[in-house]
Amino acid sequence: GVEWVLEQAHTPKVDVVEAVEKGKSAFVGPEVYKKTLGVIGLGAIGAMVANDALSLGMDVIGYDPFITIEAAWSLKKEVRRAVSLEQLVAQSDIITIHVPLSDKTRDTINEEVLAKTKKGAILLNFARGGLVNNEALKDALKKGIISKYVVDFPDEEVIGIEGIIAVPHLGAS
């Protein structure tokens, strides 16, 4: 008892504030203010993301060839319309996908689309696996076209690859 207390009294104390400040660099990411967010799919979720991004001071461009009238009414007027997927990816610093997976949407993000993507873009996929072609994505990461890919539907092809951040699927949570 007493020996332990004396030993602790002579042990240098850790400055918690200093230790936390040193460790925060592991969590630093890019500033989103004034960046352009490209939203692919402007249904219920995509529209909410677009509107919330405007509230964060982002410029927002959206693309959805199948947008419903109801979804269009839910968008803030500041959301700009892209006439093509290629226009959206060429102008966006951050791209987020909000479309269902079907035969028509599989590989929406493919080699051709990535070739037109703004260099260094961040790609977010919280919609479905299969919307992004993994081989084309890995090539785009190597070329610096995509700087980071965040996915909550990871598979064995993307686990452990530098630049890919796999997170649990928490959409319904």
Catalytic residues, by residue number, are 128, 157, 169
The Cα 138–Cα 123 span in angstroms is 12
Q: Which two tokens stand for residue 141?
A: 């990461």
In 3D space, the residue among 114, 93, 120, 77 whose CA is nearest the CA of residue 39 turns out to be: 93
Q: Alpha helix (H) ranges present in the chain?
A: 2-10, 16-23, 44-55, 69-74, 85-91, 111-115, 134-143
Please answer whether residues 55 and 78 qualify as being in contact, where contact means their C-beta atoms are separated by less than 8 angstroms. no
Angle at 59 between CA 88 and CA 32, to 5 degrees: 105
Please answer whether residues 124 and 148 qualify as being in contact, where contact means their C-beta atoms are separated by less than 8 angstroms. no
* Identity of residue 119: K
The Cα 37–Cα 77 span in angstroms is 15
Q: Which two tokens stand for residue 62?
A: 């959206």
